[in-house]
Structure 1
Amino acid sequence: MARSTQLPTDRRMFLKRTATTLAIPAAASIAGGVLTGTAHADTSDLPDYAPIPAEAFGPALNADGYHVGQIAGNLYWVTDSSYQAMFLSTRQGVVLVDAPPTIGHNLLRAIGKVTNTNGRPSKVTHLIYSHSHADHIGAAGLFGRDTVRIAQAETAGLLARAADPKRPRPTVTFRDSYRLRVGGETLQLEYHGPNHAPGNIFIHAPDYTTLMVVDVLFPGWVPFKNLAVSQDIPDWVKAQSIAMDYPWQTLVGGHLGRLGTRADGELQIQYMKDLEASTRAAITSVDPTPYFAEYGAQGNSWAIFKTFLDAVAQAAAAPVTAKYTGRLAAADVFTMDNAWTLMESLRIDSGILGPFGVRP
């Protein structure tokens, strides 16, 4: 019997089917919910990347495409191997931290699975936003209007501007710190200034020696492209050290498939130190002459900038990629992008301008 090409309405089933079929037809189109086309995608020109170290992976996902695990006591985490959330089961209900849309309804399944086991209420009474970005809280609309939503004031302002029904505005805001006590459990929320995004907070569970801070530390992996697309690079770098100042043993980083250890934090900080040293050296060592000679005569200033800055990023990334391939997953995927972003920060934030400085 021929396989149906009807697109499943259940996202979980769609992801399962995609994982088993491996390739979507290149010539396919979607019309009326039906996938049509027969030619398979040509993947021959896709780049090859280094194997992912085994220790970078987290636990296997269940049939619904998620994993829920106990961190300690009444504190749990959920992942779909790309995003993470954390929740605290209390005598009065559940405190959830973040609601990534890729996990979506699986958050409800995970919470129900845990609370049905420990006999506590399954209702999410409080929802904490780590920051405003939709990829981390875009499923917040799944929870009822009576859910208390908590966020830092900068996050509240950004959500008011977005006016996104999938990210309802917080009902409780704070400026520097907020201690949430619910049903005999405590979470300490603190803001140390902008880093990845304005309003990005540190969520500390002191009774469970656990810290959740999102898009700052990436256990087992290099940071996401362009230093996690962070809006304040100097303070994003600083936030890594601030995170290490907390007395945690377990980190929930918001991304990928496993929890973090203190050794993970120390390794990323060393990666960033090496990347900065290499980038500083490349800014001064790469000869700008060929780029000015080739494009200056054309009056193409943007071409001068692009070719020189790309060359600097490539030179900066090369030794760092070589050092960390096999130690940090995807070192060969994003290190050049991360070097480019760090180079730009060094130029505009630290005044290391290279050939674009004050003319003699």
Structure 2
Amino acid sequence: MHVDLVFPGSAPLKNLAIAQDVPGFVHALDMTLAYRFDTLVAGHFRLGDRDDARLTREYLSDLIDARVETNRTVDPARAAAGIDPTNGWATLGAYFDAVARRCAELVPNRWLTTLGDAGVFLLDNAFAITESQRVDGDPLVGPDRLPDWGIPGR
């Protein structure tokens, strides 16, 4: 059963529908698209179709591309400028916020008119996708597109 992957006519809900496994979420959507179907009963909103699933996957592809660029370019020190450096959670929070904002900025504006309510959860979805790259590595794009976080042996 592939529920909570596609929200026909809309972008995924907050944090990619509260996905616990973002690479798995994307893989499940790819599996859905591998099936032959005309009508999609997604569990939310209206009945959907293959185009709804395809649009969701394209939206995710744009989020993935934006997160790769974002995680490569957002400077943690600059993001936390003005934050007490002894407050680790505050500096980390500032970095997370800066990353989510930058990722959202890089997502093409067309999604704001193509998928309903895309702007409502864009920052949340941007955070989920960028955090996934930091936590899960990046099975969605391959090691050549991973940012260099200064980890020895990489």
Q: TM-score range by the shorter chain?
A: 0.7 to 0.9
What amino acid does structure 2 have at the position aligned with 1:310? D
Aligned length: 146
Inter-CA distance 304–353: structure 2 relative to 1 (3 Å threshold):
farther
RCO comparison, higher one (Cα < 8 Å, 6+) = 2
- Write the deviation string for residues 46-81 of structure 1: whole angstroms up to 9, x where unpaired: xxxxxxxxxxxxxxxxxxxxxxxxxxxxxxxxxxxx
C-alpha contact 1:347 1:353 (8 A) present in aligned 2: no
User: How far apart in 2 are the matches of 1:215 and 1:310?
Assistant: 25
Aligned counterpart for 1:270 among listed residues 53, 58, 83: 58
| Counterparts of residues 113-128 of structure 1 (less than 5 Å) | none
Matched residue of 1:239: which SS? helix
Q: Tell me which residue corresponds to 1:302.
A: 89
Matched residue of 2:128: which SS? helix
Q: Tell me which residue corresponds to 1:230.
A: 19
Q: Tell me which residue corresponds to 1:66.
A: none
User: How far apart in 2 are the matches of 1:216 and 1:350?
Assistant: 21
Q: Tell me which residue corresponds to 1:323.
A: 110
Q: Name the structure with the higher strand share.
A: 1
Q: Tell me which residue corresponds to 2:142.
A: none
C-alpha contact 1:321 1:332 (8 A) present in aligned 2: no
User: How far apart in 1 are the matches of 2:85 and 2:137?
Assistant: 30
C-alpha contact 1:274 1:320 (8 A) present in aligned 2: yes
Q: Tell me which residue corresponds to 2:124.
A: 337
Structure 1: 5+ residue stretches without partners: 1-201, 203-212
C-alpha contact 2:74 2:98 (8 A) present in aligned 1: yes
Shift of 1:292: 4.5
| Counterparts of residues 165-314 of structure 1 (less than 5 Å) | 202=1, 213-256=2-45, 258-295=46-83, 298-314=85-101
C-alpha contact 1:283 1:354 (8 A) present in aligned 2: no
Q: Tell me which residue corresponds to 1:350.
A: 137
Structure 2: 5+ residue stretches without partners: 139-145
TM-score by length of 2: 0.85
RMSD of aligned Cα (Å): 2.1
- Write the deviation string for residues 71-97 of structure 1: whole angstroms up to 9, x where unpaired: xxxxxxxxxxxxxxxxxxxxxxxxxxx
C-alpha contact 2:5 2:25 (8 A) present in aligned 1: yes
- Write the deviation string for residues 170-224 of structure 1: whole angstroms up to 9, x where unpaired: xxxxxxxxxxxxxxxxxxxxxxxxxxxxxxxx2xxxxxxxxxx210111110001
What amino acid does structure 2 have at the position aligned with 1:238? H
C-alpha contact 2:62 2:108 (8 A) present in aligned 1: no
Inter-CA distance 353–292: structure 2 relative to 1 (3 Å threshold):
farther
Q: Name the structure with the higher helix share.
A: 2
Shift of 1:326: 1.2
User: How far apart in 1 are the matches of 2:88 and 2:10?
Assistant: 36
TM-score by length of 1: 0.38
Shift of 1:293: 4.5
What amino acid does structure 1 have at the position aligned with 2:105? A
Shift of 1:270: 0.5
What amino acid does structure 2 have at the position aligned with 1:303? A
Shift of 1:239: 0.3
Q: Tell me which residue corresponds to 2:143.
A: none
User: How far apart in 2 are the matches of 1:341 and 1:354?
Assistant: 20
